[in-house]
Amino acid sequence: MNELLTASSSDLAAVVGPLRRDGARAVEAFALGAWSAVVEPGDAVGGLARRVLGAAVALRVVLESVDRRVSEGDPSLLGQALRQAGVDPEEISDRRIARALSRWEPRTDDVRIRSSFRAATAIGLRLVVPGDDEWPVVLDDLGDHAPAALWLRGSADLPTVASTIAVVGCRASTAYGEQVAADLSSALCDRGFTIVSGGAYGIDGMAHRAALVSEGPTVAVMAGGVDRFYPSGHDTLLRSVVEKGLLVSESPCGSTPSKWRFLQRNRLIATLSAVSVVVEAGRRSGALNTAAHAQAIGRPVGAVPGPITSPSSVGCHALIRSGLGACITSVDDVLELVPGRAVPTGAAPDPREHPERLRVRDALSTRVDRGTDEVAVASGLSTDRAREVLAELELDGLVEREAGGWRRRRPG
């Protein structure tokens, strides 16, 4: 490891293909990628060390501290470096550092970290670190709990937070919950939003599927490395996300999902999204953990009400009753929660417009062509009436006819 940190950029590039950087920037990026393998997600001591010393220096000090701890039983080197850099001793005690080093020691293996980079290179991952153009600066909201790096797999770029909505919920979903998740996700994609979720069974999977069917972008935030599709039953779904969207993880290749990593994964879902919508959640659902993270950093939360007899809606009802989650009954309720009403496709239709025109426009997408029969079904109009309204909207420049059907025109 120390050899890699002092290697030339050309030598480094031979081992760490996902970096695509030169010189000192490559060394720092490698160190941040290595940190993602050394510490568990959300480790505040690791975040403090990186913030105060810089990733490369902090990693070198940690490796020397681990060596000294093993050979001499002395864990104080990292503490000395932090205090010399101006950290208050009361903020970081030797006991706290010793506990951190004992956590990190099993994962400082040089071969293990090299192999994670080689695996990333083999499947074409991208490593994004603080300071990169693609790095989401909103992750700074997490302070020392922010990830050291993000590993990306897929064809899409990380979307801006203003254009993303998290749609999450329980694994043991009902038909009602899955229908609501699909309808909301599809409608949000039609309005230009990216759907973010966790790739799990139930509501998460339905949100991703609806986005893919709507030909909208979707991001799955994983609890383990993105080299492994988890759960295995979502292999086909996650491959489709890779082809058309993005898998994201703060853990490198070879990392297995665990209960702790799922909980920490939820904080990334909340932080990367302008709004988090909980569709279904039991009393102890992980989706409530996502909502709690969103509330902690000041992001809006919405919750979909369900039957009062459904255990799958108990968590949603608790959010609504406590005032911590806004009641979501339609896509418009979600849009009202977006900070600054930053709807990517422009202003919503004028409510004074004729109801039939509103219904037809709402039935159309800006991405996917829809036939007249489909528009009629979605708007609740007869086929003949839907055809007449579409013709009116085309004359007004609000919709356009494509080879496969009709599409709502984007403003401008």
Q: What is the CATH number of the domain that holds 256?
A: 3.40.50.450
pLDDT (0 to 100) of residue 325: 93
**Does 375 fall in a domain?**
yes
Specify the DSSP element, H or E, that contains 150. strand 150-154
Query: Is there a domain that residue 279 lies in?
Result: yes
Is the residue at 346 inside a domain?
no
Looking at the structure, tell me whether residues 235 and 177 fall in a common domain: yes
CA distance 364 to 343: 16
Count of the separate structural domains present in the chain? 3
Residue of 267, 340, 278, 290 lying closest to 315 (CA atoms): 278
Are 232 and 325 members of one domain?
yes
Q: Does 294 share its domain with 162?
A: yes
**Domain assignment present for 257:** yes
Using CA atoms of 391, 394, 396, 399 in order, give the dihedral in degrees to the nearest 10.
Answer: 130
Looking at the fold, whether 198 and 309 belong to one and the same domain comes out as: yes
Both structure tokens of 136: 């989401």
- Strand-strand pairing, 218-221 and 405-408: unpaired
Residue 186 · residue 213 · CB < 8 Å: yes
Residue 132, domain member (yes or no): no
Residues 13 and 104 in one domain: yes
Query: Is residue 310 domain-shared with residue 361, that is, in the same domain?
Result: no
Q: Could you list the residue range(s) of the whole structural domain that residue 230 is in?
A: 153-341
Residue 147 lies in a domain: no
Same domain for 166 and 314? yes
pLDDT at 343: 44
Output the domain CATH number for residue 371.
1.10.10.10
DSSP secondary structure of 315-378 = HHHHHHHHTSSEE-SSHHHHHHHSGGG--TT-SPPPTTS-HHHHHHHHH--SSS-B-HHHHHHH
Domain co-membership, 242 together with 176: yes
pLDDT at 259: 81
Examine residue 144 and state whether it is found in any structural domain, yes or no.
no
Nearest alpha-carbon partner for 153 in 19, 245, 234: 245
User: Checking DSSP bridges between strand 126-128 and strand 218-221, what pairing results, if any?
Assistant: unpaired
Phi and psi angles of residue 6, each rounded to the nearest 5 degrees, phi first: -110, 5
From 71, 75, 225, 218, select the one nearest 155 (Cα to Cα): 218
Output the tens digit of pLDDT for each of the chain's 412 residues: 555 554 444 444 544 567 766 667 888 888 999 999 999 898 999 999 999 999 999 998 888 887 765 555 555 688 888 888 888 877 788 888 888 888 888 888 888 888 888 899 899 999 999 988 899 999 988 889 999 999 999 988 999 999 999 999 999 999 999 999 999 999 999 888 999 999 999 999 999 999 999 988 999 999 999 999 999 999 999 999 999 999 999 999 999 888 878 888 999 999 999 999 999 999 888 899 999 999 988 899 999 999 999 999 999 999 999 999 999 999 999 999 998 754 444 444 555 567 788 888 878 877 778 888 888 887 778 888 888 889 888 888 888 888 888 888 866 5
Tell whether 123 is covered by a domain.
no
Same domain (yes/no): 72, 207: no
β-strand pairing of 246-249 with 150-154:
antiparallel
**Domain match, 76 and 220 both:** no
Q: What is the pTM of this model?
A: 0.80
Asked if 301 and 260 sit in the same domain, the reply is: yes
- Same domain for 298 and 259: yes
